[in-house]
Amino acid sequence: MQALQILNNVFGYNSFRSGQEEIINMLLNKNNILAVMPTGAGKSLCYQIPALIFKRGTIVVSPLVALMDDQILALKEIGVSADRIHSHRGDKLNKETINNFKNGKIKILYLSPENLMSDKTLTELSNIDIDMFAIDEAHCISKWGVSFRPQYEQLSKLSTIYPNAIIAGFTATADKITREDIVKKLNKNDTKIFVQGFDRPNLSLAVEQKDNWKKQILFFLENKSKESGIIYCLSRKQTEDVSIFLNKHNHRSIPYHAGQEGTIRKKNQEIFMNEEGVIIVATIAFGMGIDKANVRFVAHLSLPSSIEAYYQEIGRAGRDGHPADTLLLYGLNDLFQRRRFIESDGENIQHKLRENKRLDSLLAYCETPTCRKKSLLAYFDEKVKECKNCDNCINPPKMLDGTKLAQMVLSAIYRSGQIFGAQHIINILLGNKTEKILQKNHDKVKTFGIGSDYKIDFWQGFIRQLISAGHLIINIKKFGCLQITESGYQILKDKEYFNYKKIETKKSQAPKLKIMKEALNLDANSIEILSSLKQLRLNISKENSIPAFVVFSDSSLVEMATVRPKSLQEMLKINGVGPSKLKKYGPIFLTVINK
Ligand code: ADP
């Protein structure tokens, strides 16, 4: 009951989302937990509400300064006594904050793992009882996970230093072994693992062969000009190039990558967070801790490192629950590049094996001819019905017998000694008399020119499918040459068939985003009000230097524009309006609504 009251009266939300109440109750009953919930499920509330009920303090471990700052702003905005300690704030402020935590003025203290586990902080905190440690992005503690951070490893000492405190881990991405590893590292044997379904029904999924990314991305962006979105690129330079290209085509966009000067990066992030219709073109450096709920699309211009990474990145779209589109474009070169990354990443063979396996799973997902949602969630051990919303459900791919074509490729590889990359093999198939072909006498092999009925794009896609199906491997140690596997030999010897997905080289097949207006069913009047409310929100956010979503979320504004409250009392019923925000912003928003 108390938890629900806090949800209503402090956070201003009407009801719990799925899983939240259960987790809160587990924590109130002093259980150690590991909660795995999809992005946008509302993990923060799960520890913030118990933290407000507990007598003593709660420490939240969070990896990123920007994330901490946003969370604290949002909490202060609703009158919750929370603060953070980090290096950007200076010793004096940090000291003051820790004193406030010690004497109970602050109930929730946010810290980075390295800061918390430093001797200095541990000594400062040594005399205080702490009720709970909430560990955000808990997968960073596991080497099995996708983004291991050595600083997180130190957290395994917490259970010894604070045997009476609850340890609650939260993550959006952890497969079974990673979950078990996290629990082991957090060293609480009695930890209860809570896994909330991974399904995000509002996300549409699409994967396409990359043949002309410029055309493909422009097609994807049609009807999305007023929406915010993220486009992920592999390199820093690519983010700059893509951003310039999009701006030229009237899509307002800004680049973001770790090589930018700090102030520029911060400014770009702020523009994206606060303004409407901005596309951020970023490397994977962007995202962790991005709290923008109304991201309407995420596109990848190259292959992510794994399904976990992909799921986390697309998960940044549609956190408000409204429809959002995703598109992954990938080509043969991306695949080579990924394998190369893995090969050059240290000496640990087990690690490389694991990363290669992860990449294989992602490829299998990319090439699946069946429902993508099904395939994606199966990876996380979850069964769902067909989504009817992905490219494969909307446009089921045609499967064709490709045994003969596969034999042509395999034979060209075999006859040229299995020491050449895809480009050279395709030149053999097409009958191109390149310098290298002539030099190696490959114009004399039997397969020379045998595939000239098809174009280069076709062969790239076809070879990619052979690799994804495990009939060919890329040997990175031998400069990325293609080699035939056991199953590949079976096809070559005519003992196995090979079916392939028809290769479309036409324009994009990606499903189109239902325009928000239609999805929300707003009438013209409501749209006008909504636009004024968004402008008001932007003004307030600029005046007070706070992110727009900290003032009100999009969902709250949409509700205001449709319900059109007439009094403060009616305003309080809007989801996301609690007493604190009502007092601060209620009157001015009411004026705009009823103008
Ligand atoms: P996560 O950390 O799981 O990705 P957040 O905690 O950032 O998600 O929550 C996502 C958004 O959902 C936030 O804007 C949050 O305020 C909102 N939210 C959380 N719980 C509820 C709820 N019960 N009702 C309405 N909105 C909620």
**Predicted structure pTM score:** 0.69
65 and 91 together in one domain: yes
Ligand 1 pocket, residue 312 CB under 6 Å? no
Answer yes or no: is 512 within a domain: no
Q: Label residue 190 by pLDDT band (50, 70, 90).
A: confident
Mean per-residue pLDDT, 203-230: 92
| Same domain assignment for residues 175 and 207 | no
Tell me whether residue 399 is in a domain: no
Determine the 3-state secondary structure of 97 from DSSP.
helix
In a shared domain, residues 81 and 163: yes
Q: How close is the Cα of 135 to the center of ligand 1, in Å? A: 17
Tell me what pLDDT residue 352 has. 82
Q: Determine if ligand 1 sits within 6 Å of the CB of residue 43.
A: yes
285 CB under 6 A from ligand 1? no
Q: Which atom of ligand 1 is nearest to the CA of 575?
A: 25
Is 367 in the same domain as 410?
no
Choose one of 7, 14, 36, 44 to mutate for the ligand 1 pocket test, by most ligand atoms within 8 angstroms of C-beta. 44
The answer to whether residue 511 sits within a structural domain is: no
Residues 116, 8: one domain? yes
Is residue 27 within 8 Å of residue 133, measured between CB atoms? no
Q: What's the gap in Å between 40 CA and the centre of ligand 1? A: 6
Whether 188 is in the pocket of ligand 1, judged by its Cβ within 6 Å, is no
Residue 332's closest CA among 417, 457, 498?
Answer: 457
Whichever domain contains 585, its CATH number is: 1.10.150.80
- Of 394, 428, 443, the last residue of a domain is 394
Say how many C-beta atoms besides its own lie within 10 A of residue 14's C-beta: 12
- 513 lies in some domain: no
Task: Verify whether ligand 1 is closer than 6 Å to residue 291 (CB atom).
Answer: yes
Q: What is the mean pLDDT of residues 529-536?
A: 89
Residues 81 and 97 in one domain: yes
556 and 474: one domain?
Answer: no
540: its two tokens = 């307030």
Residues 254 and 386 in one domain: yes
Mean pLDDT of 546-556: 86
pLDDT of residue 508: 43
Measure Cα distances from 150 to 139, 145, 345, 496 in Å. 12, 12, 16, 46
Q: Are residues 324 and 377 in the same domain?
A: yes
Lowest mean pLDDT among 142-156, 232-246, 409-423, 528-542: 142-156
**Going along 182-335, which residue ranges are E strands?**
192-195, 203-204, 207-209, 228-232, 253-256, 279-282, 295-300, 324-330
Predicted confidence band of residue 351 (pLDDT cuts 50, 70, 90)? confident
Higher pLDDT, 588 or 275: 588
Q: Whose CA is nearest to atom 13 of ligand 1?
A: 42
Interval 410-429 mean pLDDT: 95
pLDDT of residue 145: 62
A 10 A CB-CB count for 545 gives 9
Q: Tell me, using a 6 A CB cutoff, whether residue 251 lines ligand 1.
A: no
Distance from residue 209's CA to the centre of ligand 1 (Å)? 34
The residue-averaged pLDDT of 153-168 equals 91
User: Under DSSP, is residue 301 helix (H, G, I), strand (E, B) or coil?
Assistant: coil
**Which atom of ligand 1 is least distant from the CA of 20?**
23
| CA of 44 relative to ligand 1 center, distance in Å | 7
Q: State whether 384 and 423 are in the same domain.
A: no
**How many angstroms does the Cα of residue 292 sit away from the middle of ligand 1?**
11
Give the count of domains, the chain: 4
Q: Are 82 and 169 in a shared domain?
A: yes
Q: Could you report the per-residue pLDDT of 443-501, keeping only the tens digit for each?
A: 999 999 999 999 998 998 899 899 888 899 888 777 788 999 999 999 999 999 999 99
Residue range 541-554: average pLDDT? Answer: 86
**Taking residues 543-548, what's their average pLDDT?**
84
Domain residues for the domain of 419 are: 405-501
Res 126 pLDDT > 70: yes
Residue 517 in this model has a pLDDT that exceeds 70: no
Last residue of a domain, one of 370, 394, 418: 394
Ligand 1 mutation pick, 5, 13, 171, max ligand atoms within 8 A of CB: 13
pLDDT beyond 70 at 552: yes
Q: What is the pLDDT of residue 520?
A: 58
Average pLDDT over residues 203-225: 92
User: How far is it, in rounded angstroms, from Cα 414 to Cα 489?
Assistant: 10
pLDDT classification of 509: cutoffs 50, 70, 90: very low
Residue 144 near ligand 1, beta carbon < 6 Å: no
Ligand 1 pocket residue status of 41, Cβ below 6 Å: yes
Q: Is the pLDDT of residue 505 over 70?
A: no
- Indicate whether 515 pLDDT > 60: no
Ligand 1 midpoint to CA 20 (Å): 10
Spell out where 233-323 has E strands. Answer: 253-256, 279-282, 295-300
Q: Are residues 388 and 421 in the same domain?
A: no
170 CB within 6 A, ligand 1? no
Give the pLDDT score at 516.
42
* pLDDT at 439 exceeding the cut of 70: yes
Q: Give residue 518's pLDDT band: very low, low, confident or very high (50, 70, 90).
A: very low
CB of 158 closer than 8 Å to CB of 191: no
Residue 546 counted as domain residue: yes
Does ligand 1 have an atom closer than 6 angstroms to the CB of 411? no
Going along 321-451, which residue ranges are E strands? 324-330, 399-401
Q: Which residues lie across from 334 on neighbouring strands?
A: none
Is the CB of 57 within 6 Å of ligand 1? no
User: Is 12 a pocket residue for ligand 1 (Cβ < 6 Å)?
Assistant: no
CB of 138 closer than 6 A to ligand 1? no
pLDDT digits (tens, 9 = 90+) for 299-340: 999 999 888 889 889 988 988 888 899 999 998 888 888 888
Handedness of CA 100, 103, 106, 111 (dihedral sign): positive
Contacts of 501 (CB under 8 A, 6+ apart): 367, 369, 397, 398, 399, 400, 465
Mean pLDDT (the chain) is 88
CATH of the domain at 464: 1.10.10.10
Rounded mean pLDDT, 356-379: 88
329 - beta bridge partners?
A: 208
